[in-house]
Structure 1
């Protein structure tokens, strides 16, 4: 499976109302890293089961619907199993109707068509501002 095909399969789970994911695209021994995790949030989670225990309740609690996930760039690396994808998520706040788009970067390493390392770069402060009920609609940009 090509990186493009893999990311297309992965993002299909994210669209629509939020609920638990099936996590089948993750290896049992996956490592998920958030290098810029907000204070009090984990910066590293080891194992598919542990990631599901962390991610599913967090996802279910968000008052949003993800309307679009667009890859803006995909980069190959020297390691044929690793690629970098730049993407944008567009979501609608279900209580306010406000829409916002945020940019992300993921470094994904695959083994046997499953993620073994997922390093996610996101601007959590910008995402929090976008979800605030009183903030105006905006395009969220993340700093480098």
Structure 2
């Protein structure tokens, strides 16, 4: 595959598909490899224990490696994916529901929205709107 073919295979929609695959595989390396070196991953909805953002590919790698390594959940399905058209051809907007399973077998659905900006086949910015209350309820946090 030539360099131009590799970039062409990394359209915003193809990057979204690979992003979801990395989530299913719980692969921080596969996820981080989708990012430009100086990319930013933002979490606009503040959640206890989560940073407001990761700055740079290696921060994404380290942050997700730690988060997924410590998580009691396994992503078993990503469903109800709805991709919204953007005026910017380098941006993909996607709603989805992430279904997770605990070690005890309980399942929970966590809705979310991703806005992913892609340039030259790499993510430059992600705005990750995850339903933090759904995560807290799945984890059994009192009052969530």
TM-score by length of 1: 0.81
1:88 to 2:89 alignment: no
Aligned to 1:101: 109
Unaligned runs of 5+ in 2: 1-8
SS in 2 for 1:37: coil
The answer to whether the Cα contact below 8 Å between 1:19 and 1:60 also exists between their aligned partners in 2 is no
**Which ranges in structure 1 are unaligned for 5 or more consecutive residues?**
135-144
Alignment pair present for 1:132 and 2:140: yes
1:72 offset after TM fit, Å? 2.5
Per-residue deviation, 1:80: 1.1
Structure 1 segment 1-144 matched on structure 2, within 5 A: 1=9, 2-16=11-25, 18=26, 20-22=28-30, 23-39=32-48, 41-94=50-103, 96-132=104-140
Runs of 4+ in 1 over 4 A off after TM superposition: none
Q: Is the 8 A contact 1:33 1:119 kept in 2?
A: yes
1:20–1:44 Cα change, 3 Å: closer
Higher helix share: 2
Alpha carbons of 1:19 and 1:62: their partners in 2 closer, same or farther (altered >3 Å)? farther
**What's the RMSD between the two structures over aligned residues?**
2.0
